[in-house]
Amino acid sequence: MIACDFDGTITERDTLNLLVREFGDGAVWDAMEPDVRAGRTSVEHAMQAEFATVRVSEADAVRWVREHAGIRAGFTECVAWARAHGHGFVVLSNGFGVLIRDVLGGLGLGDLPVHSHECAFTPEGSAIAWTERGEPCPLCSRPCKRHDLARVRGDARVVYVGDGISDLCVAQAADIIYARADLADYLKSRGVPFRPFRDFHQIVTDLSPPTDAA
């Protein structure tokens, strides 16, 4: 199966950044970042404070994201290819389902399984609803996408596709990793093998014809 990050992977831009920049106060995150880095504040706490400043209706939030996120080339073709070959395709995200489902719906892919957090957007400020990821991950000590992958993978071989720090832990649970941007840098610095990618056409080409069951 293919397990795929959303922000910066399926989309060209990070949808959470888009919303904070347009409707919120990015200075909140900047002020808290030293505490996050030092471990005095959790990423989740800092994100909650940041999104409390995002004042926008849900309708305007999803419209803004759909208009500005940009879809990485070959994504819909990659999903169609996976389905035609009987490979599962799931989206694992630290972003918000309400945004992800709208973007995917606009691509005719509203039926793709999505595991993510949620956010209630209001003009008075927005509230994140964290998804249940069980105990903190034993590797990264955070509520981690590795938990979601473990729940859905069964005995399938897993191809993971991602771009960021939140993918680092889950990617290493996969059999094949496609990485770009920060994720590629992190994996390289740790000596973890991965395949670089720029778009989903490359991934389809790289994975086909299906490799033999060595």
Binding site for Zn ion (CB under 5 A): 137, 139-140, 144, 146, 169
Hey, what amino acid is at 195? R
Nearer to Mg ion, 24 or 164 (CB): 164
Q: Half-sphere exposure of residue 194, counting CA atoms within 13 Å on the CB side? A: 28
Whole-number minimum distance, CB 155 to Mg ion, in Å? 27
Whole-number minimum distance, CB 209 to Mg ion, in Å? 29
**Binds Mg ion (CB under 5 A): choice among 163, 168, 180, 194:** 163
Whole-number minimum distance, CB 160 to Zn ion, in Å? 13
Stretch that binds Mg ion, among 2-10, 22-30, 69-77, 117-125 (CB under 5 A): 2-10
**170 within 8 A of 92, measured Cβ to Cβ:** yes
Stretch that binds Mg ion, among 40-48, 64-72, 129-137, 164-172 (CB under 5 A): 164-172
Nearer to Mg ion, 135 or 190 (CB): 190
Report the distance separating Cα 202 and Cα 205, nearest Å: 5
- In terms of Cα–Cα distance, which of 79, 95, 108 is closest to 6? 95
3-class DSSP string for 128-179? EECCCCCCCCCCCCCCCHHHHHHHHCCCCCCEEEECCHHHHHHHCCCCEEEE
State the binding partner of 146 from Zn ion, Mg ion, none, CB within 5 to 8 A by kind.
Zn ion
**Binds Mg ion (CB under 5 A): choice among 1, 2, 4, 7:** 7
Report the distance separating Cα 10 and Cα 161, nearest Å: 9
Q: Is 95 in the site for Mg ion (CB under 5 A)?
A: no
Q: For the chain, what's the residue count? A: 214
State the binding partner of 72 from Zn ion, Mg ion, none, CB within 5 to 8 A by kind.
none
Stretch that binds Mg ion, among 6-14, 35-43, 107-115, 174-182 (CB under 5 A): 6-14
State the binding partner of 36 from Mg ion, Zn ion, none, CB within 5 to 8 A by kind.
none
Torsion angle of the four alpha carbons 206, 106, 167, 211, in this order, in degrees rounded to the nearest 10: -20
**Binds Mg ion (CB under 5 A): choice among 10, 164, 176, 200:** 164
**Binds Mg ion (CB under 5 A): choice among 2, 4, 8, 79:** 8
**Alpha carbon distances (Å) from 161 to 37, 38, 57, 203:** 25, 29, 31, 9
Catalog residues that contact Mg ion under the rule CB under 5 A.
Answer: 5, 7-8, 163-164
